[in-house]
Chains A and B, each alone.
Chain A
Amino acid sequence: MRNWLRTFLARNGIGLSVYMLGAVALWVIVMIILPQLFMLDFSFRNNWQQIDPSRMGGPDDVYTMVNYHFLAFGSPNNPDPFNVVDVTVFFRTIVAAIFVTLFDLALCYPIAYYLAQVARGGKARLLVLALIIPFWVNELLRAFAFRILFGEEGTINAILMGIGVLSDPIDFVREDVALYAGLGYAYILLMIFPIYNVIESLDKNQIEAARDLGSSWWRIHRRVVIPFAKPGITSGCTMVFMLSAGALAAPQILGGPSSLWFTQIIYQWFNTGSNWPRGSAYAIVLMLTCVLLVLILMKLFKVKIGEIGR
């Protein structure tokens, strides 16, 4: 570290070095560390602000686990052994986010492979444009468009009934199909590009060598392409998982009336519930769970954190 600092100073001069280090420190502290620390601090406090502002800063204003306890067990007069609604929603959100991630991976890996190894020049550029341009439409508009597409009187139902596949419309929104499709679609680029980046740098001759040695296409992917693409796959999955578990707009608009997303509960605590401490506790539990899952995944697939950055 000291060596690194010395070369850094020597290369950039004192003035520039101080400026750059200062800017980075400011960024890390103000934008990343401080807000999270505030949230962490909040999550361990009573909501005196709303209940009784006069007790703020008083002898009662101590750290407490009450918010975490609430997430797990609900209010004191909850007849169930645990907080059924919130805990169910929490796990359903995690499982659904995992599902969305796997769905995106299955969808995007072939596209990324095609872009990186098969398509040439004009065709590849056209495909990339086709992937990117839809994202010029903003998120809300896209979500509402999906509602139109998947709604009970929507386009898909109209077509399916038109060609006689269905006699009665299916409510895709109530069945959460619209939500999964919307979430999945929202993050495909975040899945495609990291994978594309890695596969792009895979020597074509390795694929041909495997083929020449008698390998089937399936085995080529399993033994040569996927092991090579692992860092890209991990970083794509991490981003899609984190973002879909933390998504708010898409569940708000596309989610069925009965299915809450955990972020919606967090949002309610912050907003309508006016209970920032409880919202913070919920958010922190979600964040830590997601981080933990990702770390376990990386351990499982033997990917180092440094590789993801590539």
Chain B
Amino acid sequence: MSADVQLDNVWVKFGDFVAVRDASLTIQGGEFFSFLGPSGCGKTTLLRAISGFQHPSTGRILIGGKDMSGIGPNRRPTALIFQNLALFPLMTVWQNISFALEVKGMNKKARRKKADELLELVALPGQGDKMVTELSGGQKQRVAVARALCAEPEVLLLDEPLSALDLKLRQHMRTELRAIQQRAGITFIYITHDQGEALTMSDRVAVMRQGVVDQIGDGTTVYDHPETAFVASFVGENNSFSGTVIEITDGLACVQTECGLLRSRTSSAAPLKKGDDAVVFVRPESIHFCGDDTRRDENGLVATLAHQEFEGHFWHLALKTESGHDIRMSVMNDGRSEVHEIGASVPVGFSTQGAIALAPGELAAD
């Protein structure tokens, strides 16, 4: 069973401080939905509001179409996996997992059986009699998932559960979680500040900034079609060029910047008009070297190579334009790309489609 979750104009305030500002969105039943945002943007607060530990100051939360106001966390069809897991250290693994059944008064034998099934599901067969303190980080992680699933929630809420794990294990657990979600068929609401995590696992991502949900969409939409400057700068890397819109035609913008006239796409969700201030965002991987044959729809720049890093499949280059603007650029190491000396002056360019002009706004801190 899975239920949809609907937020209607939800605000959460701590005194004068607004932690969540007017969040309205619907998460479909069975969806893997992520909230992505920097530390302190209100992700945990929003999740606690959904699970019932935090009352919204105003607004409503509906789960499966039912208004949740006045319903405590123990009576909501949600299960929360805490940022620090919060396993019970004085209970064994199987007792942890079957705690929700113990609450319901199920007898010990049935509980044990269910716990063993769930251990199977999270790939920890036969570990039921260990104490949780004897488990590794990744195993604890899985026990926490099993404990939450045991409550047979319609919505599983996960608060950065992978942040404490090392990179390898994290990548492994991502696939695992995704697989568990598809097997269990329930709604997952996942919180993270790691964009790679959000993009690889989720059906849809909501990008949050200081309590505000800036944009909701699937991974490619959020990455390729950002609607605010914050989303463009927070999800993936981006170069930015500030300027003024000179002309708008057919959804294409011409922006006068300190690096010259740049042409780019615009976002239909956040239209610009002539005379507006704007920022042109270009991904490092959209920039390439170009010779004298710059095509008509291309933007061209001349910059000096300041620094380069080799990452195996990519070269990461740092360039500086004549006007002193820093540009980051990634070049695929496919054996065809040119090699330049540090300090060399190189012509680079990017296509109109590879750039997007958005209204200026807060940028993500690097």
Chain A residues at the B interface, C-beta cutoff of 8 Å: 203, 205-206, 208-216, 219, 223-224, 227-228
Q: Does B99 count as interface, using CB distance less than 8 angstroms?
A: yes
Interface of A is mostly: helix
Q: Does B86 count as interface, using CB distance less than 8 angstroms?
A: yes
Task: Give Cα A209–Cα B96 distance, bound, in whole angstroms.
Answer: 11
A177 to chain B, nearest CB (A): 38
The digit string for B100-129, where 1 denotes a CB below 8 A from any CB of A, is: 101110000000000000000000000000
Q: Does B329 count as interface, using CB distance less than 8 angstroms?
A: no
Q: Does B68 count as interface, using CB distance less than 8 angstroms?
A: no
Q: Are B84 and A203 in contact (CB under 8 A)?
A: yes
Q: Which residue of A lies closest to B90 (CB)?
A: A227
Task: Give Cα A219–Cα B83 distance, bound, in whole angstroms.
Answer: 23
A307 to chain B, nearest CB (A): 12
25 A-B pairs, CB-CB below 8 angstroms? A205-B84, A208-B73, A208-B80, A208-B86, A209-B80, A211-B72, A211-B74, A212-B53, A212-B74, A212-B79, A212-B80, A212-B151, A213-B103, A213-B151, A214-B100, A214-B103, A214-B151, A215-B103, A216-B103, A219-B103, A223-B91, A223-B99, A223-B102, A224-B88, A228-B89
Q: Which residue of A lies closest to B78 (CB)?
A: A212
Q: Are A213 and B100 in contact (CB under 8 A)?
A: yes
B328 to chain A, nearest CB (A): 39
Q: Does B82 count as interface, using CB distance less than 8 angstroms?
A: yes
Q: Are B86 and A216 in contact (CB under 8 A)?
A: no
Q: Does B142 count as interface, using CB distance less than 8 angstroms?
A: no
B residues less than 8 Å from A211 (CB atoms): 53, 72-74
Q: Are B73 and A210 in contact (CB under 8 A)?
A: no
B residues less than 8 Å from A216 (CB atoms): 74, 103
- 3 closest Cβ contacts across the A-B interface? A205-B86, A209-B86, A213-B100
How many residues on B have C-beta within 8 angstroms of the other chain's C-beta atoms? 27
Q: Which of A203, A205, A208, A213 contacts B99 (CB 8 A)?
A: A213
Q: Are A206 and B100 in contact (CB under 8 A)?
A: no
Task: Give Cα A208–Cα B86 distance, bound, in whole angstroms.
Answer: 9
Chain B residues at the A interface, C-beta cutoff of 8 Å: 51-53, 72-75, 78-80, 82-84, 86-91, 99-100, 102-104, 147-148, 151
Task: Give Cα A228–Cα B88 distance, bound, in whole angstroms.
Answer: 9
Please indicate which of the listed interface residues A208, A209, A211, A223 has the most CB atoms of chain B within 10 Å of its own CB. Answer: A209
B54 to chain A, nearest CB (A): 11
Q: Are A209 and B103 in contact (CB under 8 A)?
A: no
| Apart from A205-B82, A209-B87: 19 A-B pairs, beta carbons within 8 A | A208-B53, A208-B80, A209-B80, A209-B88, A210-B88, A211-B73, A211-B74, A212-B52, A212-B73, A212-B78, A212-B80, A213-B74, A213-B103, A213-B151, A214-B103, A214-B104, A215-B74, A219-B103, A227-B90
Task: Give Cα A214–Cα B73 distance, bound, in whole angstroms.
Answer: 7
Q: Which residue of B lies closest to A227 (CB)?
A: B90
Task: Give Cα A215–Cα B74 distance, bound, in whole angstroms.
Answer: 6
A156 to chain B, nearest CB (A): 40
Q: Which of B82, B90, B104 contacts A208 (CB 8 A)?
A: B82
B residues less than 8 Å from A213 (CB atoms): 74, 79, 99-100, 103, 147-148, 151
Q: Which of B51, B53, B78, B99 contacts A210 (CB 8 A)?
A: B99
Q: Are A212 and B75 in contact (CB under 8 A)?
A: no
Task: Give Cα A213–Cα B103 distance, bound, in whole angstroms.
Answer: 8
With A224-B88, A227-B90 as given contacts, are A214 and B82 in contact (CB-CB < 8 Å)?
no
Q: Are A206 and B147 in contact (CB under 8 A)?
A: no
B residues less than 8 Å from A212 (CB atoms): 51-53, 73-74, 78-80, 151
Q: Which residue of B lies closest to A207 (CB)?
A: B86
A225 to chain B, nearest CB (A): 11
Q: Which residue of B lies closest to A204 (CB)?
A: B86
With A212-B78, A212-B80, A215-B103 as given contacts, are A203 and B73 in contact (CB-CB < 8 Å)?
no
